Amino acid sequence: MTDSNNLESRIVEIYNLYYLDVYRFLVCFTGNQNDAEDLTQEVFIRVLKDLSNFNSNYNLKTWIFSIAKHVAIDHYRKKRFSALFKDGFFNQFSSNEKKPEEEFEVTELKQFIHDAIAKLKPNYRAVVILRGINEFSIKETSEILQCSAAKVKVDYHRALKELKRKLNIEIEGVLTNAK
Amino acid sequence: MQNEKDLFDMLKEMYPQHPRKEFVSATENTLRQRARSMGKKRIITKFSVISSGVLVCAFIFSWLIFFNGNSKVSEVVQSVGGASSSYAMDEKEPVVYIYHSHNIESFIPEVSAQQVYRERAYSDTKNITLVGKELSRALKELQVPAIHDETDVAGILKQRGLYFQDSYKVSRENLQKVLAENDSIRMVFDIHRDSTKRRESTIEIKGEEYAKIKFVVSKTSGNYETNKKFATQLHEQLEKLYPGLSIGVIEKGVNPQNTYNQELHDNSVLVEMGGIENTLEEMYRTTDIFAQVLEDILEKSK
C-alpha distance from A118 to closest chain B C-alpha (Å): 12
pLDDT value at position A95? 43
Q: Do A48 and B7 touch (CB under 8 A)?
A: no
- Which chain B residue has its CA at the smallest distance from A13's CA? B28
> How many separate domains does chain A show?
1
Contacts of A38 in chain B (CB under 8 A): none
Contact predicate A68/A147, CB 8 Å: no
pLDDT tens for chain A, 179 residues long, are 446 678 888 889 999 999 999 999 999 898 888 889 999 999 999 999 888 888 777 789 999 999 999 999 988 888 777 766 655 444 444 444 444 444 445 566 677 777 888 888 888 999 999 998 899 999 999 999 989 999 999 999 999 888 888 877 766 666 665 54
Contacts of B27 in chain A (CB under 8 A): 15, 19, 37, 40-41, 44
Q: Which one of A3, A5, A41 has the shortest CB-CB distance to B42?
A: A3
Contact predicate B100/B174, CB 8 Å: no
Q: Is A160 on the interface with B (CB under 8 A)?
A: yes
Contact predicate B234/B246, CB 8 Å: yes
Contacts of A5 in chain B (CB under 8 A): 39
pLDDT value at position A84? 63
Q: How far apart are CA A152 and CA B298, in angstroms?
A: 73
Q: Which helix (H) or strand (E) holds B79?
A: helix B69-83
Q: Which amino acid does the sequence have at B8?
A: F
C-alpha distance from B255 to closest chain A C-alpha (Å): 52
All residue ranges of chain B with pLDDT < 70 are 1-2, 67-91, 117-119
CA-wise closest residue to A156 among A123, A114, A117: A123
Write the pLDDT tens digit of every residue in B153-175.
988 888 888 888 889 999 999 99
Q: Do A163 and B7 touch (CB under 8 A)?
A: yes
The CA angle A115-A119-A125, to the nearest 5 degrees, is: 105
Helix (H, G, I), strand (E, B) or coil at A23: helix
CATH of the domain at A171: 1.20.140.160
C-alpha distance from A4 to closest chain B C-alpha (Å): 4
ipTM of the complex, rounded to two decimals: 0.73
- Which chain A residue has its CA at the smallest distance from B39's CA? A4
Segments forming the whole domain that contains residue A72: 2-178
Q: How far apart are CA B241 and CA A65, in angstroms?
A: 86
